[in-house]
């Protein structure tokens, strides 16, 4: 099973960025955004006050800058020959100033220097040190991340398998009397055990390799209700909102279930949500805009009389981050192209009563949308 | 048991910021940094692409801006009367532009507007919309967070209790044959169960309410080794590096233990680390600089011949974040004052052999340093 990208993926990405820099007459790019560093290098890190940066010159070898405590891992995980380290933050010399000094020693004839991610303070530091050089913000890495190649889709397929599995475990162990916290712990533990057994390597990412949210009853009406000591009860709606990560790539699978009986009110709202969710999936085809897909789902929900219970857009991109561009939202005019990976998850939230949301992770292809998550979603399969 | 701050804490903080704005002739401050929003409002959120901001005017009522899905929680968790919401990101109107428009409708006579945290892009948006108004970055909230008051220390004391408890559980269940992953899961589960029983409310924060790292054997030589499927073995060093969070405030407690036998080499390095760690604690008194405290511990380790095995500074501030200012590092000249909360955790890392690190969380007081974490740390108490 593919559990991480081959080194050729990183070589390709570096080359793509360098071609972009050449085209834009930019001398080099500092990558600061942690997910973009992972995308370009394979080195995952939890961002802290200790800065990590990748410098990609228009021509020549990239330089990876890390604190000494990340040095061994950087050597092990990346393709780079030139990894330079500093001792600590803040240090007697500011680490960013040191990085700038290092690249200025290495390269000259600066025309334009760009940064990826980073704060106003970082921008000022670059502007102060690159005298008479144009300093800009460049979004090339975010742009490359918008579409996934075959190997990335392979990792996502594997992540989808565990996303389905954790929902299956949840269906098996959810029962009246168990708390949300216990339910989620047991679901996560069992799925993690399976992942540890089957995967060669597990990459620790924010949120962990597998997990989610499991609101029950009235708490399902809050889209992001965190696990609580509330006990599951017969007759309540139970949302299992989960995801897993393989090789840095995240997939989500969410299902709205019912503990025992389903009332007419629950069933009606469920069917409207489920139809809208499927309509959005069907609309995820090349040439459609994100805003159009969003409208397909939300307009249907409004037409069915549930418009006042909408609290969010239809979906968002999936990849390295839990949420990433493009956004299946009225404000995003991005045209879908093959290789984009999206969630479809319109929700209905009736305060004091219940919420309803399924989510799948879908790859846009030349033909039919490829739904990676395969857990059943009809109401008869979702009664616990 | 105190599990969250009273509303008076937030009222006091708003007042402190307003006094600062008056003194600095600043018309208002946009707070964007998620931890600073929590500090000022009590509203915790996982930062996503959907911006949340607090606007504090020099005079008058603050305005909290949230996406609609956070509205209920914002009403429940904060003291603010004026909470305004937008539907989604990106939306047809940029949420930041909308926030700026809202405050411009509410207040006039702008002299200077400041932002807290935020990217280069946010700075540009403010500059573009506030024509002929000075736009600056302000660090007042970070400054206020440097020293903790009585109630914050109370929360930290409670978090320290659970930080000690998880180490105790680890000592009880660690044994040859168990994997690091199993060990950490069981430690976290048991401690979380205790917290759920005893605390009225658990605030979900990045990293969770309780957890940590549990490297064993040669993996202890990597300061941030994530839990793996490696099995614990007799004769190995075992680091239990844990922490807990109560009411948003984090404490860490770390202990270097041994599975069964302790070799002379292990004992020697352990004693040097333990002595340095205690020396740094003793030095955490008003009037000392962070750099001086750092030197006390690291110079001792160097003098004892372990200088080449240092991979990081002596410690850092503790509070809302896992790591926060001030930094117990040669590059931080901050003078310690009562109410600062710090970790003391110099480490020795001998690649291919073993690492050694204790950490405690300490409050600087007018008198003796107040060590919040109380788990035993002499070698005879740390053999499993």
Tell me the CATH number at B267. Answer: 3.90.230.10
Element of type H or E holding B277: helix B264-283
Q: Residue A119 and residue B121: Cβ atoms within 8 Å? A: no
Which of the four pLDDT bands, split at 50, 70 and 90, describes residue A102? very high
Rounded Cα–Cα distance for residues B45 and B70 (Å): 8
| A258 vs B205, more confident | A258
Q: What is the reported pLDDT for A101?
A: 97
Among candidate residues B122, B145, B168, the one where a domain is terminated: B145
Chain A residue whose CA is closest to B186 = A189
With a CB cutoff of 8 Å and minimum separation 6, the contacts of A179 are A228, A229, A230, A231, A232, B196
Is there a single domain that holds both residue B174 and residue B310? yes
Whose structure tokens read 């020959």?
Answer: A81
Chain centre distance of CA B232? 29
CB count, 10 Å around CB of A38? 18
- The alpha carbon of residue A234 is apart from the nearest alpha carbon of chain B, in Å, by 23
Mutate to test the interface with B, among A89, A97, A124 (most CBs of B within 10 A): A89
Token duo for residue A348? 């209905």
What angle in degrees, to the nearest 10, is found between the helix axes of A180-198 and A150-173? 140
Q: Which of A48, A93, A227 sits opposite B323 (nearest CB)?
A: A48
Contacts of B136 in chain A (CB under 8 A): none
Q: pLDDT averaged over chain A? A: 95
Is there a single domain that holds both residue A369 and residue A274? yes
- The alpha carbon of residue B282 is apart from the nearest alpha carbon of chain A, in Å, by 23
Q: Residue B192 and residue A206: Cβ atoms within 8 Å? A: no
Q: What is the reported pLDDT for B51?
A: 95
Which of the four pLDDT bands, split at 50, 70 and 90, describes residue A22? very high
What total number of domains does chain A contain?
2
Mean pLDDT of A323-349: 98
Q: What is the reported pLDDT for A323?
A: 95
Q: Residue A91 and residue B179: Cβ atoms within 8 Å? A: no
Contacts of B91 in chain A (CB under 8 A): 329-331
Among candidate residues B116, B145, B174, the one where a domain is terminated: B145
Q: What is the reported pLDDT for B269?
A: 98
Q: What is the reported pLDDT for A200?
A: 74
Q: Residue A88 and residue B179: Cβ atoms within 8 Å? A: no
Element of type H or E holding B285: none
Q: Is residue A54 part of a domain?
A: yes
Burial class (CB in 10 A: 0-12, 13-18, 19+), A308: exposed
Q: Which residues of chain B fall short of a pLDDT of 50?
A: none
Q: Is residue B223 part of a domain?
A: yes
A205 pLDDT higher than 80: no
With a CB cutoff of 8 Å and minimum separation 6, the contacts of A199 are A1, A3, A246
Q: Is residue A2 part of a domain?
A: no
Contacts of A70 in chain B (CB under 8 A): 224
Is there a single domain that holds both residue B179 and residue B237? yes
CB count, 10 Å around CB of A380? 7
Contacts of B51 in chain A (CB under 8 A): none
Q: Which of A70, A93, A137 sits opposite B120 (nearest CB)?
A: A137
Mutate to test the interface with B, among A67, A76, A119 (most CBs of B within 10 A): A119
Rounded Cα–Cα distance for residues B61 and B346 (Å): 45
Is there a single domain that holds both residue B17 and residue B122? yes
A181 pLDDT higher than 90: no
Q: What is the reported pLDDT for A206?
A: 67
- The alpha carbon of residue B381 is apart from the nearest alpha carbon of chain A, in Å, by 29
User: Is the peptide bond between A209 and the residue preceding it cis, with omega within 30 degrees of 0?
Assistant: no
Rounded Cα–Cα distance for residues A146 and B66 (Å): 27
- Rounded to 5°, the CA angle A211-B173-A173 comes to 35
- The alpha carbon of residue A227 is apart from the nearest alpha carbon of chain B, in Å, by 9
Token duo for residue B140? 């007042």
- The alpha carbon of residue A367 is apart from the nearest alpha carbon of chain B, in Å, by 28
Chain A residue whose CA is closest to B198 = A229
Rounded Cα–Cα distance for residues B64 and A170 (Å): 37
Token duo for residue A235? 């007759």
Is there a single domain that holds both residue B252 and residue B166? yes
Please say whether the beta carbons of B48 and A323 come within 8 A. Answer: yes
Burial A328-337 (b: 16+ CB within 10 A, else e): bbbbbebebe
Please say whether the beta carbons of B244 and B372 come within 8 A. Answer: no
Q: Residue A88 and residue B226: Cβ atoms within 8 Å? A: no
Among candidate residues B98, B118, B145, the one where a domain is terminated: B145
A379 pLDDT higher than 80: yes
Tell me chain A's radius of gyration from C-alpha atoms. 23
Mutate to test the interface with B, among A120, A127, A334 (most CBs of B within 10 A): A120
Is there a single domain that holds both residue A197 and residue A138? no
Rounded Cα–Cα distance for residues B142 and B150 (Å): 18
Rounded Cα–Cα distance for residues A276 and A294 (Å): 10
Q: Is residue A1 part of a domain?
A: no
Element of type H or E holding B295: helix B290-303
Q: Is residue B24 part of a domain?
A: yes
Is there a single domain that holds both residue A199 and residue A52? no
A203 pLDDT higher than 80: no
Is there a single domain that holds both residue A133 and residue A154? no
Is there a single domain that holds both residue B110 and residue B208? no
Instruction: Write out pLDDT tens, residues A337-361.
Output: 999 999 999 999 999 999 999 999 9
Q: Is residue B2 part of a domain?
A: no
Is there a single domain that holds both residue B141 and residue B209? no
Q: Is residue B1 part of a domain?
A: no
Assessment of whether the complete model's pTM goes beyond 0.90: yes
Mutate to test the interface with A, among B86, B90, B250 (most CBs of A within 10 A): B90
Contacts of A223 in chain B (CB under 8 A): 69
Burial A245-272 (b: 16+ CB within 10 A, else e): bbbbbbbbbbbbbbbeebeeebeebbeb
CB count, 10 Å around CB of B97? 13
Parent domain of A105: 7-145
Instruction: Write out pLDDT tens, residues A88-101.
Output: 999 999 999 999 99
Mutate to test the interface with A, among B46, B88, B330 (most CBs of A within 10 A): B88
Q: Residue B119 and residue A118: Cβ atoms within 8 Å? A: yes
Instruction: Write out pLDDT tens, residues B167-199.
Output: 999 999 999 999 998 899 889 889 988 998 898
Is there a single domain that holds both residue B138 and residue B261? no
Contacts of A49 in chain B (CB under 8 A): 316, 323, 327
Is there a single domain that holds both residue B198 and residue B291? yes
Element of type H or E holding B238: strand B237-246
- Rounded to 5°, the CA angle B292-B362-B255 comes to 100
Mean pLDDT of A312-330: 97
Q: Is residue B276 part of a domain?
A: yes
With a CB cutoff of 8 Å and minimum separation 6, the contacts of A246 are A3, A155, A156, A158, A159, A162, A199
The domain that holds A67 is classified in CATH as 3.40.350.10
Rounded Cα–Cα distance for residues B73 and B296 (Å): 46
Rounded Cα–Cα distance for residues B227 and B184 (Å): 7
- The alpha carbon of residue B226 is apart from the nearest alpha carbon of chain A, in Å, by 7
CB count, 10 Å around CB of A93? 12
Token duo for residue B103? 């405050």
């Amino acid at each position: 099973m593919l559990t991480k990208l081959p080194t050729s993926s990183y070589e390709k990405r570096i080359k793509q960025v360098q071609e972009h820099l050449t085209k834009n007459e930019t001398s080099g790019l500092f990558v600061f955004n942690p997910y973009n560093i992972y995308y370009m290098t394979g080195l995952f890190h939890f961002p802290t006050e200790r800065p990590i940066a990748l410098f990609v010159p228009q021509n020549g070898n990239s330089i990876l800058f890390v604190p000494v405590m990340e040095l061994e891992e950087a050597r092990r995980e990346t393709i780079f020959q030139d990894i330079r380290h500093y001792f600590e933050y803040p240090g007697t010399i500011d680490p960013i100033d040191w990085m700038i000094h290092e690249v200025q020693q290495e390269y000259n004839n600066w025309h334009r220097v760009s940064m990826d991610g980073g704060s106003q303070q970082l921008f000022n530091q670059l502007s102060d040190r690159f005298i008479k050089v144009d300093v800009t913000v460049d979004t090339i890495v975010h742009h490359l991340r918008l579409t996934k190649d075959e190997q990335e889709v392979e990792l996502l397929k594997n992540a989808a398998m565990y996303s389905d599995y954790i929902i299956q475990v949840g269906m098996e162990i959810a029962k009246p009397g168990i708390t949300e916290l216990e339910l989620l712990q047991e679901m996560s533990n069992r799925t993690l055990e399976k992942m540890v057994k089957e995967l060669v390597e597990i990459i620790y990412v924010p949120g962990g390799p597998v997990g989610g949210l499991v609101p029950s009853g009235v708490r399902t009406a809050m889209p992001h209700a965190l696990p609580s000591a509330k006990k599951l009860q017969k007759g309540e709606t139970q949302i299992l909102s989960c995801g897993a990560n393989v090789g840095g790539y995240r997939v989500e699978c969410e299902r709205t279930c019912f503990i025992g009986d389903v009332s007419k009110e629950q069933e009606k709202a469920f069917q409207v949500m489920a139809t809208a969710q499927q309509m959005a999936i069907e609309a995820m085809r090349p040439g459609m805009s994100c805003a159009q897909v969003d409208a397909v789902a939300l307009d249907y929900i409004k037409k069915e009389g549930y418009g006042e219970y909408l609290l969010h857009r239809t979906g968002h991109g999936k990849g390295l981050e839990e949420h990433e561009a493009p956004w299946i939202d009225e404000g995003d005019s991005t045209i879908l192209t093959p290789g984009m990976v999206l969630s479809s998850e319109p929700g209905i939230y009736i305060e004091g009563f219940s919420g309803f949301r399924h989510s799948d992770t879908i790859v846009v292809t030349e033909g039919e949308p490829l739904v990676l998550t395969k857990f059943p979603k009809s109401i008869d399969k979702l009664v616990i």
